[in-house]
Chain A
């Protein structure tokens, strides 16, 4: 990146937010663990997993291929090694050229993508000779900012500031063409857990299908997922359903059962029978089902394991893409390996899992247990960005490898080093980086398999930095999936009690994404994949050491006791008696909390006890895989913090209040009262005093507030940024506020608010603002806008001539606009001179209606030497004044939004006769009764007490529910001590008359946010008669963007009529779709009269002649003024053979 521009010379661009820098000057080596980073951890950590271990996992699952052209020929083995993303951290040291290095800041300003080269090694060996290697470049792959390979990874806050980044940059996003984009987390089915479904939709496949099925989602080590479903047919048969490349395959379950079992038929069915019996299924029912399973196999002449394997091999050979000389049996084995329960290696394990699925299915069919709810969080996990990318890259690498393999198979002749390396170069290199970049830029997934995901688009979003709250919540948001957006039913949107503590019940938007776009609770974490194998081994050892003594096999099973199956991350390990289970669980739980580095720390031990009224299929399920949601709670027994999962939580007894000492009625307790709330929701002060929808509104509005989006505004060229000039620390704040040091990104102003109906300008949620307060800087803000202009190779920036006109007087000698100059619409910002002499030069002018100040001009040139057409670009950042005007929107932190309706002069505002205080804002008392935002009144009171005593009130919700004293009492006392009224009311005097109000007025301090929806005075048309019209109805169009008007509808008309307005014609007719039309009084038709141009006559006045085409005469035509839409209606009716006749009198 190279800066060409005048601004650098003048030092303007090097402005640094000095307060931030100052803070970190002396503590360069401070550990970078800041609480706010935890909120972004699931993004950054998952990407780190991809670069550290994920690539190895991808390669480990690509099997080496062996080739032999014919018997006796040398054998060639081909495999992959060393898939890696080059680290950008130390790159500049090696190359020694700092300017060529890509930095996040440079990419943002230059509109480029932040990428690093991705490469893989193809290795081959002929007949055990020396191994040959060839590195193949897979293109430049986007890098997550602040991940381990990012150049900012290890920098201290001071170093970050020096590089033009935020001091506490948390990363978690990618930079694609200068725009920060992130991968959204998506909810999907929990892996390795058998789900019993009862779905009407299954019966629509064919009349044979019943609505019952069990389903399990299996995930391999390299994040390849496949779903296996077991359907119950109406005949009583069972079908295994598989999906491959978006196709569905159904196999009789008996065949798969037969193919997996090593033993004889009789032995196998005895086993199955035992399992089913242990699940408590009726004896005759089991026998019937098993007989049917066997009969189906026998009808296909499948009696042995080999028969079954070769049957599967025969049918699925095409899917597997294997060489034709493989036998059917080995293809069948490969099929079992690649398609049935891919997370398990051994056929014995697969068999037990299939039997477990079978017994769960039959329990559901017989009604012994109830089906699971797929919409409940207990059966769900979250797709994290790193793992999604891993699955994507895995697929692309495999395709590249497969391509080389097929080419090698086809090649004739001997293999020499050159031919092979040439072939690898030819077919092995594919631009994986470009695929990933396209994915990130558009959110569209281009994949032949679909990666087992339910959607193909909408995966990525822009990480908007409107303000910091919005930014944070992007990284904490979890989407249910694009598929559910179109779904008519609302069941998926429902807030279920199972999601308590994991998904915030408050923080979800209104409207179409309501309930589908959720946010993680503040303390909720997503389990990341293991960082090393030793850890994995240790964990398994730990679990087995506890479990194995209690396990019994199905043969030892005794019908007298209740036994439950034990499933270890999708692998059935045996049965356990109910009494042993509780011992095992408490032992495991003790291990979970012994150390913070415990191998079981993020394991989920969910025990669904048998015979419960919940009706769920019993079992002891232990999960330790990634992507699950977990949250910390306090274990009462040890008083230590334990992480629990969603399925685990449903069967624990957790106290909602903190528990100090041992309490037998609870096993666990919440760490904080607000643990169910998300970061943004927990910032609402006293939200426990408010009506719940108001807290939801506040979560929305906090994200639309103008505030402090970042500290690096001078290094960025975002298209739009809002900045509040005088943000303040709220006088009433929650503990979350300081935990994440949100003072750095404050977004509001403490305003003196009087609740009074004054002059009528505060009706209907309008608010009056003191003009004096406004003059003194209340809610002053600036809009930063950046225009980007590409400069082609044959253009140069220059003043075209030395004449100064009114338009170009702002240009400096180089042809770009001077910094700090005020530009008005039409003024030239850039003057481009064409050097080829053919095309004319051009000048970029300011568009729009507002004047602006030039903040900075940045000229950048791409590092790439390839002469693209627009390789240089100029980014001109302009500052627009956005100080409050009438019509701007404000809101308190309690979902109370209002529009600024009038700016009363200071002397006209009511004032307190004791202190002379004049309110900044006046709101109407009617805003409270129906909305019940008591929290706002409490805030007003507490902040007033805080302002007069100098304390910041702790407004953490539910804090006061533990205490005996209510906040009104607590702060009322403080107020009284400072000489105010206990209730916060004061005697106010009318500023216009000087008379005091007969009642005392509630006045206090409330933190006000300014919302970004602003009126632009020149762009709304309240009344319009000229402008664009709808071509069909000729009525004015709607929408501000297209220059439309505001609809004056029936209700508006009625209200005017009710007020006795007699004459509405001009508003509703003439300003709308008035048309002078002809009507034929003979036939009464509106559409028959036609104006045609008589061609013979040349006389101008009579060249147009109108006549009725039906009556063929013109002498009864009348000219009337009617709405055009009526003629349209007449024409439409005529098309339906309905004639409309009009009599004009």
Chain B
């Protein structure tokens, strides 16, 4: 039985941008959270260039190197579901698996010509190179991904075949740049102890450099001691607040500081065991929420095959 089955998992989206999503996943076990992360990296199908036929390459880069670079260029995979993975397809129709792209660039001017992903021409509406806001047409100023640079009279003429695949086979099919979760921190502040703290400036000896040092108010010192800057102290109002718990790194610096001040238990930071903050960044091939949803579906279908019901059945998304 999977923990959290009865309660059901819930997702709270904290931030959603084009390529980034931050959300809290509550009510699941760590194994499920990790499974979701792994699926997003390795199992969400996308489309990438898989075969390159070099017709002309008079650039300084060798064919293999170019082919490898082309493979890593993100292609819009929103219609990936319309394609079939080549090893799952038994029919004769190539269009079911392959998408043809072309790259034909010749440098005519004395200036170096940048060949970018915008120069990749797709013959298929389903798959196109991801546009990064450039104007297209392959000018050096566009936002495309640089593939090669050409001098005068150098030429690149390539035919590429893009195919569907997953990150398990090759990292180029991985839809995410980062997919990471962390334990959402549980931060307890003992306000009674907090109020007993000295707010005034005082002179103390720091243990590590034995220099006379003006330490400032102790509350401010606690804020200072935390490299992840979770707390904030306003000296005017003498308010000590927890502002950004999400930046917690569990480095223990604050607790160390608190113990040093002789107030153990003032602040307690520990990881929550059934609540996870996910940060997922897409490479642009898919919308980031699509990546998460597809991963959930894949997880569900995987669990279905082994006959386990999952907490995601009752997933609530807020």
Contact = CB atoms under 8 A, between A and B. Distances in A.
Interface of A: 10-12, 15-19, 21-22, 714, 725, 771-773, 775-777, 780, 782, 820, 853, 855, 879, 881, 905-907, 911-917, 976, 979-982, 986-987, 989, 991-996, 1000
Given A18-B112, A987-B250, A906 B178 contact: no
B68 A853 contact: no
Given A907-B37, A907-B41, A994-B33, A979 B112 contact: no
15 contacts: A16-B151, A21-B151, A22-B112, A771-B171, A772-B167, A772-B171, A772-B174, A777-B68, A879-B64, A905-B42, A914-B182, A916-B178, A916-B281, A994-B30, A994-B33
B60 interface: yes
B42 A907 contact: yes
Contact of A782 (B41, B62, B150, B229): B62
Contacts of B42: 905-907
Top 9 nearest A-B pairs (CB, nearest first) are A994-B34, A916-B180, A775-B171, A916-B178, A913-B182, A772-B171, A907-B38, A18-B151, A907-B41
B30 A911 contact: no
A906 B181 contact: no
Contacts of B249: 914, 979, 981, 986-987
Contacts of B304: none
Contacts, number: 114
B65 interface: yes
Contacts of A976: 227
B: interface residue count bin: 35 or more
B84 interface: no
Interface string B53-81: 01001111011110010001000000000
Nearest to A913: B182
A452 to B, nearest CB: 50
A777 B73 CA distance: 13
Centre residue among A775, A776, A911, A995 by max chain B CB count within 10 A: A775
A782 B63 CA distance: 11
A987 B179 contact: no
A302 to B, nearest CB: 79
Centre residue among B167, B180, B279 by max chain A CB count within 10 A: B180
Classify the secondary structure of B's interface with A.
Answer: mixed
A714 B31 CA distance: 53
Interface of B: 30-31, 33-35, 37-38, 41-42, 54, 57-60, 62-65, 68, 72, 112, 149-151, 153-154, 167-168, 170-172, 174, 178-183, 227-229, 247, 249-251, 271, 279, 281
A913 B58 contact: no
Nearest to A723: B62
Given A18-B112, A912-B180, 8 more contacts: A772-B174, A777-B68, A853-B63, A905-B168, A906-B167, A907-B38, A907-B42, A911-B180
B58 A12 contact: yes
Contact of B251 (A19, A905, A917, A987): A987
B227 A979 contact: yes
Contact of B171 (A11, A17, A820, A906): A906
B227 A981 contact: yes
Contacts of A773: 171
A853 B62 contact: yes
B55 to A, nearest CB: 9
B30 A995 contact: yes
A995 B181 CA distance: 11
A913 B151 contact: no
A981 B251 contact: yes
Contacts of A993: 30-31, 34
B183 A916 contact: no
B38 A17 contact: no
Contacts of B151: 16, 18, 21-22
B74 to A, nearest CB: 12
B171 A776 contact: yes
Contacts of B112: 18, 22
B38 A881 contact: no
Given A879-B64, A906-B42, A993-B30, A15 B183 contact: no
Contact of A991 (B38, B72, B229): B38
Contacts of B153: 11
Contacts of A16: 60, 151
Centre residue among B35, B150, B181 by max chain A CB count within 10 A: B181
Nearest to B277: A913
A992 B62 CA distance: 37
B170 A775 contact: yes
B232 to A, nearest CB: 15
A10 B154 CA distance: 11
A60 to B, nearest CB: 52
Contacts of B183: 913, 996
Given A987-B249, A1000-B251, A881 B64 contact: yes
